[in-house]
Amino acid sequence: MAQAKICGIKDAAALDAAIRGGARFIGLVLFPKSPRHISLDTAAALAARARGRIDIVALTVDAPDAELEAIASAVRPDWIQAHGAESTARTAALRRFATKGVIKALGVARSADLAAAAGYEPVADMLLFDAKPPPGGLPGGNATAFDWQILAGRRFSRPWMLSGGLTPSNVAEATRISGAALVDVSSGVESAPGLKDPTRIAQFLAAARH
């Protein structure tokens, strides 16, 4: 049984499906290059609808302080997800923009990539292991998976989340192989890039739960 984050929420229908299905987190993408990017006003409205019902994650990519201050003021996220090349020092500095903590995403293609986690464990409240993007690709949401066996038996001092290429049909296997207690999905519950499908969200959450 794994708890889940539905990332890239853009409308109330997807948000409500995530809450109804028992997701622990929703992700609001504030990165203009992503097809899941939403305006600050939309993020604020969705956060207001979600507050107190589900944890709100604001996903950013190497965002400057001015942008993060605007997000903190308008959205008031529970978590900031740092999905870029943020250093350990920068990750630690992001803590003040969230009420609960910072999630640091790390790209993984092979076992050696997990070594980077050691530097972030003291400064992040949670880790997220995502498939390393292809050359020139976006930092996340690429619908690609890595070898889940890499994580089998590994222990970290922070909670960690599995991401990358997860779908309703493979999430149960992914958690069984990797040992993940937390999973993150975006493209795997979409009918088109950036367009969440409430039915697929429900299917994913049911599969993750059982």
CATH of the domain at 19: 3.20.20.70
Q: How many angstroms separate the CA atoms of 97 and 95, rounded?
A: 5
Q: How many angstroms separate the CA atoms of 168 and 172, rounded?
A: 8
Q: Which of 69, 70, 92, 72 is nearest to 82 (CA)?
A: 92
124-160: b or e for each residue (b if 16 or more CB lie within 10 Å)?
bbbbbbbbbbeeeeebbbbeebbebebbeeeeeebeb
**Mean pLDDT of the 165-184 span:** 97
**pLDDT score recorded for residue 175:** 97
Catalytic residue among 62, 130, 184, 197, which?
Answer: 130
CB of 43 closer than 8 Å to CB of 28: yes
Please give the tally of structural domains in the chain: 1
Among this protein's residues, is 7 annotated catalytic? yes
| Predicted confidence (pLDDT) per residue in 104-153, tens digit | 999 999 999 999 999 999 999 999 999 987 666 666 555 679 999 999 99
**Mean pLDDT of the 62-88 span:** 98
* Domain span at 92: 3-209
**pLDDT score recorded for residue 144:** 77
Q: How many angstroms separate the CA atoms of 108 and 152, rounded?
A: 14
**pLDDT score recorded for residue 134:** 66
| Predicted confidence (pLDDT) per residue in 12-69, tens digit | 999 999 999 999 999 999 999 999 999 999 999 999 999 999 999 999 999 999 999 9
Task: Output DSSP code: residue 134.
Answer: P
**pLDDT score recorded for residue 210:** 82
